[in-house]
Amino acid sequence: MLSRFTFCIVALVMCYASFFFYPKWKHTGTEATISCDVSGYYWYLPSIFIYKDLKHQSFKDSIINKYKPSDTAFSQGAQCGNGNYVMKYSSGMAVMFSPFFFIAHELAGPFGYARDGFSLPYQFAIQFGGLLISIIGLWYFRKLLLLFYADKVVAIVLVLLVLGCNYLNYAAIDCGMAHCWLFTIYVFILLNTHYYYQAFKARYAVRVGLLIGLAMLTRPTDVLSCLIPLLWGMERINIDAIKNRLVLFARHYKSFLLAIVCAGGVYSIQLIYWKYVSGHWLYYSYQDQNLYFRSPNFINYTFSYRSGWLTYAPMLALAFAGILPFIKYGRNKVAIISFFIINYYVVCCWNIWWYGGRAMIQSYPVLFFMVAELVKVCLQRKIQLAVLAAISVILIYYNTWLICQYHRYGLIITDSMKKDYFWRVVGRWQVPEEAALLLDNPDLYEGKMNDPHLFFEDDFVNDTGSKYVLNAAGGKTLALNEQNKYSDIYKAAFTDKVQWIRAEATFHCALKEWEEWRMTQFIVQLENKGNKIKENMIRVHRLLSNGAVKKVAIDMKLPAGDHDKVNILFWNVGGDVIYIDSLKIWSFNE
């Protein structure tokens, strides 16, 4: 069968990405498999089975200092009112990680690694576990789709899913994250729901209940997965359809109650944990992160350059394009479309919307029913198929480029992404390093300066104060550090009617600053009669390296109207000492 062959190919791609392209388990710090959010999911296991300290977390500082799994001291949990530490994330992932954790714990000692929960065997085990679960989920997703669609359609859908969107990254590289595990859970919810409605046997109800409970235990908002079994089989919403569904519930109420009991039993793990640690059966551990149902961030979540779902996974636009054919020809319409709309709404309500499109991945087993329907329709006409093929090839290339840039080549910096920088680098493999300045400043002139006029120059020789230090040449250098964060404001009269100005200075730092918020800022302000009419800023550490001496320039495209002054200042926000020399300002035309 074509879909079986396709599955083998895409599974090999996933294995290559996980073990050869970017073996995350070999990395350290926040790039390790067990780091950032994953370390928060996982923290339950070493707390219980190695350190026997689920409440007080007295071991946490030694692990943070040794392995540095997070940027902050202890982001995996926070103290509650009784002084104990409560884990931020629910325990579902720890439950699913546990078989791989136990295997790693048994093997770590014999292979010469620390049995501390974070050494290489544990990193590899969690990475391997995520990949294995992803491949299993993909295999059964294929079996699910074959219940409704032809083999050729299913083969194409597998290619679009694995090669064309962010599923590949989270199923093969960042597979310690919850999303690929939840993807597989949703596949089994869908399969067992289908089999339940075929025969109404209790074993399928038990499985559905346990799976929904595990989804909730992993991510509480995945309680929405219950919409699938509740609405499965419905093709329309009207009075008769609702009455028929209520009659069905009444006829099979025992199996529905059994499913609810099973789901509640699994979720009780979290309730027991909260009671044990905090003293309360319910505890909100996400602190200042909340759902705001009255103000969903649809536009930002979906299209922002920072982390927009469809900006970085445009293949899923095919799900939107497939809604109409799915409504016309698809099966189980009410369950599929209701879940899609409500889940999408809830995801967009999370106040830190910039967590990105990864939150939609677990819903892909549902969304790709609409993609499959679109593929089915396109296969009926050569022109439609050709258009779909062309779009798919472009989007597969784009997804490959994104993964390569994010993990190896560094052109994608989603947390800082701006429109101008995105369109300057998208699809390219090399750009001038100065393009990175577009992350801060939309004005970047890359051509030759015409009619250049140097109208300001300062080597700081005549400047006084503790921030100016002697240099090897006998002159002075501006040194900004913890005590002197701000430079003086360097003012230059300027009335030239030109198109651009460029300020340039020479910078030197012993250590490059990687944290964006700590980077030194180079600021240029344009004034007229004491009023600031424009300000541009760049973070100079974007272009600096350890110990290097480098000239860095900031451009400003002049707005229409009058101006009479240019101000330059520097701000070392929070990094190590940085030295600055030879400030110059030019005016020029394109």
DSSP assignment of 145-210, as one string?
HHTTS-HHHHHHHHHHHHHHSTHHIIIIISTTSHHHHHHHHHHHHHHHHHHHHHH--HHHHHHHHH
Identify the domain boundary among 407, 423, 446. Answer: 407
Please list, in sequence order, all residues whose beta carbon lies within 8 angstroms of the beta carbon of residue 83, skipping any fewer than 6 positions away.
none
391 and 522 in a common domain: no
> Of the ranges 90-94, 111-115, 203-207, 413-417, which one carries the lowest mean pLDDT score?
413-417
The Cα 272–Cα 269 span in angstroms is 5
pLDDT at 474: 81
In a domain, 516, yes or no: yes
pLDDT in tens, 203-237: 999 999 999 999 999 999 999 999 999 999 999 99
311 and 347, same domain (yes or no): yes
pLDDT for 473 = 79
pLDDT tens sequence across 385-395: 999 999 999 99
Q: Residues 209, 106: one domain?
A: yes
Considering only CA atoms, which of 388, 412, 389 is closest in space to residue 399? 412
pLDDT of residue 72 exceeding 80, the answer is no
pLDDT for the residue 415: 82
φ/ψ of residue 304, rounded to 5: -60, 150
Q: Is 450 exposed, middle or buried (CB count within 10 Å of its CB: 0-12, 13-18, 19+)?
A: exposed
- What's the whole-number mean pLDDT along residues 98-108? 98
Residue 32 has pLDDT above 90, yes or no: yes
Is residue 258 pLDDT above 90, yes or no?
yes
Percent pLDDT > 90 in the chain is 93
State the pTM of this model. 0.93
73 falls in which pLDDT band (50, 70, 90)?
confident
Report yes or no on 224 lying in a domain.
yes
pLDDT digits (tens, 9 = 90+) for 181-205: 999 999 999 999 999 999 999 999 9
Q: What is the total count of domains within the chain?
A: 2
Residue 423 in domain:
no
Q: Is the pLDDT of residue 471 over 90?
A: no
Residue 421 in domain:
no
Residue 276, domain member (yes or no): yes
Same domain as 285, residue 199: yes
Closest CA to 89 of 353, 343, 287, 292: 287
- What CATH number corresponds to the domain at position 524? 2.60.120.660
- Whether 26 and 131 map to the same domain: the answer is yes
324 shares its domain with 458: no
Query: pLDDT-based confidence at 355, cuts 50/70/90?
Result: confident
Q: Note the pLDDT of residue 469.
A: 92
* pLDDT band of 268, cuts 50, 70, 90: very high
Say how far apart CA 498 and CA 132 lie, in whole Å.
Answer: 61
Examine the domain organization and report whether 286 and 346 are in the same domain.
yes
Residue 472 has what pLDDT? 78
Percent of the chain with pLDDT over 70: 100
Q: What is the pLDDT of residue 535?
A: 97
Q: Do residue 401 and residue 441 come from a single domain?
A: no
507, 540 Cβ separation under 8 angstroms? yes
Do both 238 and 380 map to the same domain? yes
Cross-strand pairs, 78: 86
Q: Measure the CA angle with vertex 547, ends 544 and 553; round to 5°.
A: 30
528 within some domain: yes
Are 394 and 439 members of one domain? no
Residues of the domain holding 469: 435-589
Task: Convert the pLDDT of each residue in 489-546 to its tens digit.
Answer: 999 999 999 999 999 999 999 999 988 999 999 999 999 999 999 999 999 999 999 9
Averaged pLDDT for residues 399-420:
93
Residue 416 lies in a domain: no
Give the pLDDT of residue 527. 96
Q: Are residues 476 and 555 in the same domain?
A: yes
SS3 (DSSP) at 25:
helix
Give the mean pLDDT of 438-453. 95
Mean pLDDT of the chain: 96
> What is the model's pLDDT at position 489?
96
Write down the pLDDT at residue 112.
96
Region 253-277: what's the mean pLDDT?
A: 97
* Secondary structure element (H or E) that encloses residue 20, with its range: none
What pLDDT score does 143 carry? Answer: 98
Report yes or no on 430 lying in a domain.
Answer: no
The Cα 590–Cα 31 span in angstroms is 43
